[in-house]
Amino acid sequence: MIDLSGRVVLVTGAGGGLGREHALLLARHGARVAVNDMNEANAQAVADEITAAGGEALAVAASVAEMEAVQAMVDRIVAEWGRIDGLVNNAGILRDKTFAKMDLADFRLVMDVHLMGAVHCCKAVWPLMQAQGYGRIVMTTSSSGLYGNFGQSNYGAAKMALVGLMQTLALEGARYDIRVNCIAPTAATQMLDGLLPEAELDLLHPSRVSPGIVALMRPEAPTRTILCGGAGAFAAANVTLTPGILANGEAEDIVARWDEVTDRKDESVPASGGEQGRQELAHAGYQRAAAAAR
């Protein structure tokens, strides 16, 4: 069994749904859990549930969209338990409409909660994790961001932005043993009410995603992984790069050789954004070397 005894984990949006299941399972693995929700009563109910089962929990009500509230929440956790080892950025909302009909205020609101909410929480815990030389952070991304979903341009944009945040924070946190990953859950929460048959909703119970959170919170966790989970099944998604071609400077050459450009044979997962540039320079260098040989 993965033992998280002595670890303090903050779970946002944990008053119900996925966050509640994450909090309960983390506690069963020995973690002390800070249960965050905008609704104080909901957060307290989950914290009480954990303590009734013999675990340790602290209810911390705050809106992740407000940096001052997040900092106050983190300060309270540290005052109570002295450290924060893990952060699960789970809080989120939906404001679904097609892009043509979507009000920009709803676009900004979803970005503020999902993206900036995660930024605020990461910013507040980052110096603590640096100082203690240990941290585990999980962003909640989505298939809507990875692959798109009709009527969710705001949600999809926010969720894919979290992947980009993960990629860079994982690189910057490596020297401090701060490992940063994403989970892309498929679960029957209030967000899916009325959208799927009852049998599918039963299979997609949120509790069947939470083992992935525990796996990403363990001391031996990976970093820069996008873990997709639902109905007890788990897979990894990757942002890959094809080998590509060197075009002769004309758009027509790109179009004529499009199948080569998009050929996924021997595709790779770059270690950083700079790897893309190095691949492109390697193509150009190969051309120069070949020209010199002639």
Catalytic residue among 134, 147, 155, 176: 155
155 is catalytic: yes
Q: Bridge-partner residues for 148, per DSSP? A: none
Rounded-to-5 percentages of helix, strand, coil across the chain: 50, 15, 35
Nearest residue to 33 (alpha-carbon basis) of 6, 5, 57: 57
Distance CA 217, CA 138 (A): 8
- Tell me which amino acid residue 86 is: G
- 43 neighbors 95 (Cβ within 8 angstroms): no
The DSSP annotation for 206-253 comes to GGGTHHHHHHHHSTT--SS-EEEEETTEEEEE---B-------S-HHH
Number of Cβ within 10 Å of residue 85's Cβ equals 22
Question: Which residues are annotated as catalytic?
Answer: 155
